[in-house]
Amino acid sequence: MFNQKPRSCFIIGPMRDADLGDDARLIRLARQVVAPLLDEIERRDGVRYIVRTPYDLGGNHVMNDVIYAIDRADLVIADLTDSNPNVFYELGICHALGRACIAVMEDRQTKIEFDISAYRVYKLKLEDGRYLEAQQKLRDPINAAHRSISDWTKFENPVIDFFRAPITYISPAFALAQGYYLNFVKPVVESMIRTRGTRYLYDIGSAALDRPQPKNIEDVTVLPDDVRKKLELHIVIPGRIALARHNFADRLRGRVPPALVEGDGRSYTCFYRAYDSDTRHALVDIPTTLRVMEDAVDRRMRYPNIHHDAPEWREVEDQEIQRFTLVLQMFIDRHDMNPEFAQRIRILRYNPDSPGDLLWLHAAVMNV
C-alpha cells in the first residue's frame, strides 16, 4: 500500500464563522482532529490523505466547487452542527454518491434531524477545545472507513438503504455488471459445472486458431472430462474502457482459440486458453459491455470534451471500472445454489502499462 496515490478527505459543515480565519470551526476540525488521525493511518499503513475544507477550494462558484470536491473525495466528514441547510444538501450528495461519510456535531446540540436520526452522529466538543477527546471518538470510525474506503456496501445511509446501492450504481456500472452476470457469467458457469449423473449436461469445445468463431457445437472439438473438471472462467477486466471495445476483443481472434459453450436454449462464445503447465484450462472473456461507461465518465467531467488520457478522465474511469468489478464480484459471491460456482471464476485485472501474468493477452490486444 506504500507510495500509492494520496487519498482525499473533504470536510463539509457550517461556514458562518469564516471571518475567524484559522479559528473557524471547519479549519479547527480539519487541523486539530481529522488530520492527526489520518497522519496516524499514514504512519501505520503508508496511505496518505490530503485534508481539505471549502475554504481551500478558492473557486468562483462555491457550490460547484463543493460538489466537485465531494465527487472526488474518498472520505467525507460532515459537521451537522446547527443543522445548516447547505450542509444537509451536501450530505445528501454524499449519500447519493455512496461516499464514505462520517457525521459529527457539537455536543451541545440535542436535536438530530429526522432524515438521519436513525444513523450514527458523533458528538464532539470543539467549542471547548477538547480536541484529544474528539480524536478519541473519531479514531475508530475513521479507521473503519479507511479499511473499506471503496466498498459502499460497508456504509449505511438513507439512499443506500432504500435503493440497496448508491445512485451512481443504479446506472451504468451496477446495471451493466448485473446484466453481464445474468446474461453471460451465470449461464456459462452453470453450463460448465452442471451434470446429470456422471455426465456433463452441456458440451463445451474449442476450435482451431484459423477457424471462424464457432456457431454450433459441431464446429468445435469438445473438451474431455478431465479438462472440464478443472475448467475455469477467467473474466478479464481491462484498466481502460477503450480496451473493452469489440475491435480490441476481436484482436484475440487468430491469437487465442475461440470457444463455444452450450447452454439452456442458447450457446455462448468466448475464448479458450490452456496454460503452459497444462494444469489449468480456462474460458476467457472480456466484458465488452464496459464500453458503455465511456458516456458515463464523460458526464462526470467538470468541463466538456476532455481528452480521455487526461488525469481527471483517467481517475473517474478507474472509479467506474472498480464499481463494475465490485458489483460483479458481489453477484458471483451471492450465488449460493452450488458452492463450486464461485470457485470456478477468476476476475483478472489487465493493466496495459503493467500486464504481469497477462502478457499473452497484452501481446494480442496491443499487437506487440
Range 167-195 average pLDDT: 90
Domain identity same for 139 and 183: no
Is residue 2 included in any domain, yes or no? no
Domain identity same for 226 and 302: yes
Domain identity same for 249 and 103: no
Q: Where are the alpha helices (DSSP H) in the chain?
A: 25-28, 35-45, 62-72, 85-97, 131-147, 158-163, 167-168, 174-180, 186-193, 225-228, 246-250, 293-299, 311-334, 340-343, 359-365
What backbone phi and psi angles, to 5 degrees, belong to 293?
A: -75, -10
Domain identity same for 332 and 306: yes
Q: How confident is the model at residue 368 (pLDDT cuts 50, 70, 90)?
A: low
Residues 207-239: tens digit of each pLDDT? 988 777 888 888 899 999 989 998 999 999 999
Of 109, 136, 163, which marks where a domain is finished?
163
Of 102, 129, 163, which marks where a domain is finished?
163
Domain identity same for 305 and 229: yes
Is residue 291 included in any domain, yes or no? yes
Cα–Cα distances in angstroms (integers) from residue 190 to residues 94, 228, 344, in the given order: 38, 12, 10
Q: How confident is the model at residue 202 (pLDDT cuts 50, 70, 90)?
A: very high
Is residue 56 included in any domain, yes or no? yes
CATH number of the CATH domain containing 124: 3.40.50.450
Of 163, 186, 211, which marks where a domain is finished?
163
Structural domain of residue 86, as residue ranges?
7-163
Domain identity same for 221 and 147: no
- Please report the pLDDT score of residue 37 as a whole number: 98
Range 159-163 average pLDDT: 84
Residues 320-367: tens digit of each pLDDT? 999 999 999 999 998 777 788 999 999 999 988 888 888 888 887 776
Is residue 244 included in any domain, yes or no? yes
Domain identity same for 361 and 242: yes
DSSP-derived letter for residue 274 is E
- Rounded to 10 degrees, what is the CA torsion of 349, 355, 359, 360? 30
Structural domain total, the chain: 2
261 near 202, Cβ under 8 Å? yes
- Please report the pLDDT score of residue 352 as a whole number: 84
- Maximum mean pLDDT: which of 122-131, 164-173, 255-264: 122-131
Domain identity same for 334 and 358: yes
Domain identity same for 42 and 147: yes
Greater model confidence, 363 or 145: 145
pTM: 0.71
Distance, in Å, from the CA atom of 224 to the CA atom of 219, rounded to the nearest integer, reads: 16
Domain identity same for 65 and 209: no
Identify the CA nearest to 68 among candidates 47, 99, 38, 39.
99
Is residue 27 included in any domain, yes or no? yes
Q: Is the pLDDT of residue 2 over 50?
A: no
The whole-chain average pLDDT of the chain stands at 89
Domain identity same for 107 and 234: no
Helix (H, G, I), strand (E, B) or coil at 275: coil
Is residue 1 included in any domain, yes or no? no
Q: How many CA atoms lie within 13 A of 198 on its CB side?
A: 1
Is residue 293 included in any domain, yes or no? yes
Domain identity same for 206 and 338: yes
Is residue 105 included in any domain, yes or no? yes
Q: Is the pLDDT of residue 1 over 70?
A: no
